[in-house]
Structure 1
Amino acid sequence: MKNPPAKPSQLITKEFARQLNVNYNNKRASLTAKKAEKEDANAIWYSLEELENYIHYIKTNGTKQGYNVDGIRFYFGVYPDDEKHGEKAGLTTLFLVPTGKKIEKNTEKIQSFALKQEATSADIQDLDPMNYGNIGRPPSLLY
C-alpha cells in the first residue's frame, strides 16, 4: 500500500474502551434492566457495507438537496414498548443522523452566484436517519 490512511486522532486505547464499556454496564444498563426486568443491549453493530452505503446515500442525496454533509451524529434511543418491535421493545438502540450545512447562493455583487455556507453544522432533517443495527443480545457483550 503506497499511501496508507492517516491514523485517526480520535483513537483511544483498548483499556480505555474497556473502561467505558464497564462503566456503561455498571451505571446505565443496570438501571434500565431493573425497570424493564430484562437485560438491555449494550452494543450495536453495523456492517462496513451498511455504513459505506449510508455514507454514500447521505453524501449523494445531501448534495442533491443543497447540503455540504460533513459528519454523522450518533443518538441513543429506546424502542417503544410495543409488540410490533418484538424482542427489541423497550431496549436501547443507536441511530445515525447526517450533519452538515445548507449551501446558499450569495447574490451580492462582489461574490455573484458564489456558494456561501452557514456558520454552523447541524442535523440534516431532509435526509433519513439510519437505525436497525444488530444489538448486543443479552447476555451483554463485553469489550
Structure 2
Amino acid sequence: MKFPFYKGLVVFILLSVFSCQPKPEEVSLDLSAKKIKPALAEKMSKKFVNETSKLLMLSAEQDTIKEKPPYRLSVSSWYSLDELQSYINESKRQADSLGIDLNGFRIYVGVFPDEEIYGKKRNQMAFFISPTGNRSVQQGAFLLQEKFPGDIPEIDPLEYGSDGEPPISTYPQIE
C-alpha cells in the first residue's frame, strides 16, 4: 500500500513545482496613439512608391529620365512571428551578455551590393532591423547610461525577410 501513496506524492510534488514556475511575461502597452488607419497606410505606401520611382529615374547630372532605376525597389519585407520572436530573444541574450540594456529596434533601408553572392536580392532595396540599447559607462565611481539608445553593432542585424510579391506592391498586400 505504500507504493501508490509515494507515487501519488511524487506526482503531487512534480505538479506543484511545475505549476509554480514563472510564466513568460506578456507585455501589453497602449499603442493607440501610435497606430494609423489602413486607409492612411495605403496612401503613404502608394506615395512612397510613386515618389521614389520618380526620384530613382531622374539622373543626378541632368533632368533626363534614365532607362531604368539604379536598383530594384522594395516597399516591404515580411518576417514570420517566430522569426521576429526568435530574433528578439536572441538579441536580449546577446545584449545581456555584453552588459547592454536592450530597449528597442531600429529599422533601416539599404540596397544590397550588385554582386552575384546576394542572389535574387542583388542590387535590391532592403530593410533590416538592428537592436538598440543603452551602454553603461563607468565614469569615476559612477555608473552612467547613454542618453539615447544606440545601435548595438556587436549583434548582427536581421534582414532576409520575404519581400512582397512583386517587391513594388503597395499596402495592403492580401493573399
Decide which of 11, 22, 40 is 2:46's aligned counterpart: 22
In structure 2, stretches of 5+ residues that fail to align are 1-25, 58-67
**1:85 shift after superposition:** 1.5
Q: Assess if the C-alpha contact under 8 Å between 1:66 and 1:102 holds in 2.
A: yes
**Secondary structure, counterpart of 2:69 in structure 1:** helix
| 2:155 is the alignment partner of 1:127 | yes
**CA distance 1:139–1:120, change in 2 (3 Å):** closer
Query: What count of residue pairs does the alignment treat as equivalent?
Result: 135
Q: Assess if the C-alpha contact under 8 Å between 1:39 and 1:138 holds in 2.
A: no
* Structure 1 counterpart of 2:116: 83
Provide TM-score, normalisation by structure 2: 0.68
**Secondary structure, counterpart of 1:81 in structure 2:** coil
Q: Distance in 1 between matches of 2:127 and 2:108?
A: 6
In structure 1, stretches of 5+ residues that fail to align are none
Q: Assess if the C-alpha contact under 8 Å between 2:130 and 2:152 holds in 1.
A: yes
| 2:128 is the alignment partner of 1:95 | yes
Q: Assess if the C-alpha contact under 8 Å between 1:29 and 1:42 holds in 2.
A: no
Q: Assess if the C-alpha contact under 8 Å between 1:99 and 1:124 holds in 2.
A: yes
Higher relative contact order (CA 8 A, sep 6+): 1
* Structure 1 counterpart of 2:107: 74
Q: Which has the higher strand share?
A: 1
Q: Distance in 2 between matches of 1:4 and 1:73?
A: 19
Q: Distance in 1 between matches of 2:149 and 2:75?
A: 29
Q: Which has the higher helix share?
A: 2
**How well do the aligned residues superpose, as a CA RMSD in angstroms?**
2.4
